Structures are given as C-alpha cells and as structure tokens.
Structure 1
Amino acid sequence: MATNDRREDAPILTISVAAGLAGMHPQTLRQYDRLGLVEPQRTRGRGRRYTLRDVAILREVQRLSQDEGVNLAGIKRIMDLERELARVRAENDRLRSLAEPGHRIFAADATGDVVAVPRGTRVRRVSTTSGGALVLWRPPGR
C-alpha cells in the first residue's frame, strides 16, 4: 500500500472538519452515516472520525444529488454497485494472476475459493457436498 493510500484511509478528521471539507452541514454527515452512505470510524467515546476517502465519497454524494438529481436511495444503490464492481475486478485480477504459465487447472478448494492447480497435479472430481475439489475450468487443448 502506498503512503498516500494510508493517508487517505487514516481516520483523523472530526465531523466538523469533514463537513467543512465536503461543503456540508455536520447534521448531513450524521444523516448519511445513518443511511449507510458513509461509514466513519468511531473513537472510544463514539465520536465520528472521517478519512480523506470519506470526504471524497461525501463530495460524490453531493454531486450525484445536486448535479444529477439522484435521490439518496439511488445514490446508495450506485455506491453499493461501485463497491461490488471493485470487488469483482479485484477477484478477476487475482484469477488472472493465477493463470500464469505453469498453472493449468482452476479448481474450487474445500472453502469454495477458486485456486490454481500446478501443472502435473491431478484434481479428483468429487461431489462438492463432501468438501472435495471440483474442476471448474481447463484451458482448451490440454
């Protein structure tokens, strides 16, 4: 993780500072927290602490609401879909990295995660109810 990434994720901003940076009233941030649009970290005394990434999210919520006319339920759905897309892209990148030369079969392990099986390793085809591996994909011609 780059130094800049850690700084963006450091929960250092109080609600009044985060609200000022986002151009909003602190009560708006409380409402967005209740709706799950932004989820600040909490201090031991339950005070909210925002990150620079949270402020960027708040600005995007404001842009979608004011410039695009999207209601808060729509914004929440958009943000959920964007998080899911990021998760799927990360999983796709992980699988792509497993497909490097030397791997020939993808299989599901006992937990259901997709794993690469090195060349020359045999995978038993077993019913998934018994917790065994199941071949999911084999490159054509191999």
Structure 2
Amino acid sequence: MDEHSPIFAIAVAAELAEMHPQTLRQYDRLGLVTPTRTAGKSRRYSMRDVNQLREISRLSGEGVSLEGIKRILELENQVTALQSRVRELESALADELLNRPGSRVFAASQHGGAVPLRHGARPQRPTAVVLWRPHG
C-alpha cells in the first residue's frame, strides 16, 4: 500500500482532513481533488488526496481563492511530472554514456523531446542540439 492507494471512504477522508464531507464533494465537483470511484460510484480517497485536501485548507485559510488554489495545484502537478521526466532523461543519458562512450547520445527535437541517434548518425533537423562526449 502506498500514498496513492484509494482506501478512505469520504467520511474518514473528511475527518483526516478536518473538513465536512460536503466540502470534499464540492472540491470533487470543482476538480480540486478527484478521488477514485468504486464500482458502486462511492468516492475513495488516498493519503495523497488527504494531504492535498489539507493543502487546500491551508491555502484557503491564507485567503487564496478556489480558482487560485486550483491553478497552484495544477502547477505543482506539472512540476512533479517535469521532475520525473528529467530523472528519466538523466537516467537514459547516463545509460547511453556508459554503454557508448564517445558517441552521440541523442538530439533534442523541435518540440523538446529527446530523439535517440545511432552511432555516427546526424540529427534530421539542422537546428537540433546534439549532446556527445569528446574522445580522450
């Protein structure tokens, strides 16, 4: 079981977040916290959801509007996803550098993605950035 496991019914999640269950329903409707649904359509909250509810409560207490809170949460989720992607790319780069020292690893595509290159291959676009390790 991890922090993403949907285990709490709405009453328990509300108690853990120190909120009324109706507030959780409202936040679900607004898209601030989206719990998992059971086959019977009951809401199930994870520990991550409860922590997010607590963060919403804190921000609301500081005077941030619900729209502002929603935007903050979206940006935090985007940062988390980007950090995960950077870790993936760093790992891929490290693997390539270990497996093929001195050769080109990948080029950056026009849209920011990483395009792997074969040894000795050139990128398709002349504006691509190429990363390599010099010999010696």
Report TM bin, short chain: 0.7 to 0.9
Cα distance in 2 for partners of 1:126, 1:99 equals 20
Cα distance in 1 for partners of 2:37, 2:63 equals 31
Task: Confirm or deny that 1:36 pairs with 2:31.
Answer: yes
Runs in 1 of length 4+ with deviation above 6 angstroms? none
1:53-132 pair list within 5 angstroms: 53-66=48-61, 68-100=62-94, 101=97, 102=101, 104-107=104-107, 113-117=113-117, 121-126=119-124
Q: How many residues align?
A: 126
Match of 1:21 among 16, 20, 26: 16
Q: C-alpha root-mean-square deviation of aligned residues, in Å?
A: 2.4
Q: CA deviation at 1:93?
A: 1.4
Checking the alignment, whether the CA contact within 8 Å between 1:11 and 1:51 is kept in structure 2 is yes
Task: Confirm or deny that 1:48 pairs with 2:46.
Answer: no
Q: CA deviation at 1:33?
A: 0.5
Structure 2 residue matching 1:107: 3-state secondary structure: strand
Q: Normalized against structure 1, the TM-score is what?
A: 0.76
Instruction: Give a deviation string over 1:87-126, Cα, whole Å, max 9, x none.
Output: 11111112222222236331368xx8524446xx132443
Q: CA deviation at 1:60?
A: 0.4
Instruction: Give a deviation string over 1:32-55, Cα, whole Å, max 9, x none.
Output: 001111110001111100111110
Flag the 1:106–1:135 CA change in 2: closer, same or farther, 3 A: farther
Q: Normalized against structure 2, the TM-score is what?
A: 0.79
Checking the alignment, whether the CA contact within 8 Å between 2:35 and 2:45 is kept in structure 1 is yes
Identity level (%): 48
Checking the alignment, whether the CA contact within 8 Å between 1:104 and 1:139 is kept in structure 2 is yes
Instruction: Give a deviation string over 1:112-142, Cα, whole Å, max 9, x none.
Output: 8524446xx1324436xxxxxx953224757
Match of 1:137 among 109, 130, 133: 130
Checking the alignment, whether the CA contact within 8 Å between 2:104 and 2:120 is kept in structure 1 is no
Cα distance in 2 for partners of 1:20, 1:69 equals 22
Unaligned runs of 5+ in 1: 1-5, 128-133
Unaligned runs of 5+ in 2: none
